[in-house]
Amino acid sequence: MKTSSNLRLPKNTPDLRRIGHFLLKFSRLAAACLIWTGLSAVPVFAAPLQEPVQDPASCSLLLSRLDLEKPGLEKVKAAVNHPEIAAAELLAFYRSRTSVKHPVDRSQKGASRGNCASNNDLETADQALKHIFVGQPAYPPHFCGEEINWGSRPVPDNEWVWQLNRMYFWDAMALAYWHTGDEKYAQEWCYQLTDWVRKNPRDEAHGYAWRSIEAGIRGYRWTGLFQRFIDSPAFTPAVLVSFLNSCYDHASYLMTRYTKGSNWALMEAEGMAFIAFTFPEFKAAGSWKEEAISRLNQEIENQVYPDGHQRELAIGYHLGCIGWFDRTLELAKMNGLEHAFPPSYRSTIEKMCEVPLKLGMPDGSNTQFGDSWKGNPGQNWGNLKRWAKTFGRDDFLYVATEGKEGKKPAETAFALDKSGLYSLRSGWDKNDICLVLKCGPDGGGHCQPDNGTFELYAGGRHLMPDAGSYIYSGDPVNRAWFRQTKVHQTLTLDEKNTSYAPRLLLWQPGAKLDVLVVENAGYPDLTHRRALFFVDRKYFVIVDEAFGEGNGNVDIHFQFAPGAASFDHQQLTARTAFEEGWNVLVQTVAQDGLKMEEEEGQVSFLYTKKEPRPAFRYRLRKETRGVRFVTVVAPYSGEAPDIKVKIMGKPEIGGSRLSLKVSENGRSKRIGYDFSTN
Ligand code: CA
């Protein structure tokens, strides 16, 4: 859509800017007048709007893209030689259409007054009215100009401009509109929508706006925005023409972009599906729908391991993928097309929904493996509560309600053996101990070379969180730092990064002892075997063996939560030093040549935010076929436990048998493994 105005306004004059928007929007409009609402200086229409004159070429283009034989489009078809009338008829059609169902139900507009926007939505929306936009939300909102520059780059991080072009703030404006009933949100959205469409043709100069995931995200979100704004008087036939032509461009583009094997494919398909389902009047809608559904059916096979985890092995993306798979299924269901998805599609989604129960921390937050953030306590519980209902799962409900409702999960140890993610917990209370270990295949760009690493939580505290990922773009040095193998709780040779070559040797959960043995052949000439014993559901014994021809400095690394820590290099112990609540003790068994050294530690719990933390390693010089570390990791409250471990006999490093005698405060028992008979 084109605007005819060449109006340019002086900078930094908000009142004039508002008038400018108004004039730009309705510069051809003869009979409208303004009154001012005092302080807010937002125009309010005193007279009913007349329809702005259409751009006939855009109208005709749109009409050529629609199947005018569809029932309900008779009047549009009759006016096909008068595009402006046809556009008005098309708008009338959409306002009265009831055949298409969408998760945003237009009939709820009135009932949503006063109860659908959060304070944060309202603030975001009010800022957006002033063109102060949220891009990547870790950075401050940014004023993108009276004349909006959709390519604004206030920070070096490209994520900002990419996310600007997802326009999440439009969703806030839509919610603010329904919440307050104030037409200013609809007027401004209609202005911004047509402005964006006009300024962002899909060409090389506008690549920032047209990565396929932004296109997919918009395709999905815009259909919801359509539902929220179409009943506003500001949503004119001209807005409809601009909007629908852009939807057509989005879906046509997404047909040509298919990023197989990645979460991108799901956003691409979702955008296409939502446009196709919401606007079946497009001639191409059937083929868009078919392609989108076919991709989702294909990708759920490609991307989800039989154990339920999405193949990129980062929990945030896993949770995102549940939404991407599920929303189109729900939309299809609403519109009578559920049969396009086989029953296995839904059961796979259910399996995916088990993952935050199995691998989530007892406080309802998550591990930070790969590009992930632990999030707030309880952040999994809303999802689990919803899925409890969807899938009739009492165990989801139990965890989501902190045991107030539902039924306690029968197990406390879970192996996702294809993903290489394992959890061991002492129970289902939020103060219970929980350790999650990762030793899986390469999950691609959101995965880190961290095989063997683990996170430990106890007594409501993330005692040994993963470092996280800090940033995606614009700071390659720090991004690389967080991705290093040696900043994970695992073994390295000469501090080099490992590759992914995982193997599960033993998974043996039990009431008094859980045993997990994994290997990662992470170097061409060195394999790391890690045996993890969860003894009496109280403490862990970790036996690390490194074997192969590779020689050099073999380290095992550990990192604590931010805060004070104490190190005893003589006793080879390190512990957190929280005055209240739970701590963790790490102690390795002494051996010749073993050194304990502190290391640089960082952890990031929020995008672009990081903080120092205690970190250390135990180092052995490997000059023979193998080395072995035997280490206790014991969470505790009050006094540190006295735990001693002794290797029985002389087991071969990398061999099939291992036997240890452990004693805790004087009580001893034998633990070990023997897979020689397997
Ligand atoms: Ca990590």
CATH of the domain at 573: 2.70.98.70
Ligand 1: distance of its center to the CA of 470 in Å? Answer: 10
Boundaries of domain holding 509: 413-635
Ligand 1: distance of its center to the CA of 539 in Å? Answer: 23
Residue 436 resides in a domain: yes
Residue 330 resides in a domain: no
Q: Which two tokens stand for residue 58?
A: 């855009």
Residue 168 resides in a domain: no
Residue 84 resides in a domain: no
Which pTM value belongs to this model?
0.89
CA distance 497 to 449: 7
pLDDT category of residue 675 using cuts at 50, 70 and 90: confident
CA distance 351 to 416: 11
% of the chain at pLDDT higher than 90:
91
On the question of pLDDT at 18 being above 60, the answer is no
CA distance 529 to 549: 15
Ligand 1: distance of its center to the CA of 632 in Å? Answer: 22
pLDDT at 55: 84
pLDDT category of residue 136 using cuts at 50, 70 and 90: very high
Mean pLDDT, range 276-286, rounded to an integer: 98
DSSP 677: T
> Catalytic site residue 317?
yes
pLDDT at 54: 61
Q: How many domains does the chain have?
A: 1
- Residues with Cβ within 8 Å of 239's Cβ and at least 6 positions away in sequence, in order, are 190, 193, 194
What are the CA-CA distances from residue 567 to residues 322, 585, 596 (Å)?
A: 43, 10, 9
Ligand 1: distance of its center to the CA of 521 in Å? Answer: 19
CA distance 94 to 236: 12
How far from chain centre, in Å, is Cα 349?
Answer: 16
What are the CA-CA distances from residue 43 to residues 23, 35, 175, 187 (Å)?
A: 11, 6, 20, 9
CA distance 394 to 308: 19
Q: Cβ(675)–Cβ(505) under 8 Å?
A: yes
Mean pLDDT, range 224-237, rounded to an integer: 98
Which of 355, 294, 287, 344 has its CA nearest to residue 320?
355
Whose tokens are 């989801």? That residue is 396
Q: CB neighbours (10 Å) of residue 110?
A: 9
Residue 109 resides in a domain: no
Ligand 1: distance of its center to the CA of 413 in Å? Answer: 22
Mean pLDDT, range 12-17, rounded to an integer: 37
CA distance 210 to 206: 7
On the question of pLDDT at 65 being above 90, the answer is yes
pLDDT at 371: 97
Using the CB atoms, write b or e for 346-381: b if 16+ within 10 Å. Answer: bebbbbbbbbbbbbbbbbbbbbbbbbbbbbeeebbb
On the question of pLDDT at 17 being above 90, the answer is no
What are the CA-CA distances from residue 40 to residues 114, 131, 185, 286, 610 (Å)?
A: 20, 14, 13, 46, 39
Ligand 1: distance of its center to the CA of 453 in Å? Answer: 8
pLDDT at 465: 98
Residue 162 resides in a domain: no
Ligand 1: distance of its center to the CA of 412 in Å? Answer: 24
**Catalytic-labelled residue, pool 94, 253, 317, 398:** 317
% of the chain at pLDDT higher than 70:
92
Residue 602 resides in a domain: yes
Which of 671, 637, 450 has its CA nearest to residue 542?
671
Residue 575 resides in a domain: yes
How far from chain centre, in Å, is Cα 160?
Answer: 16
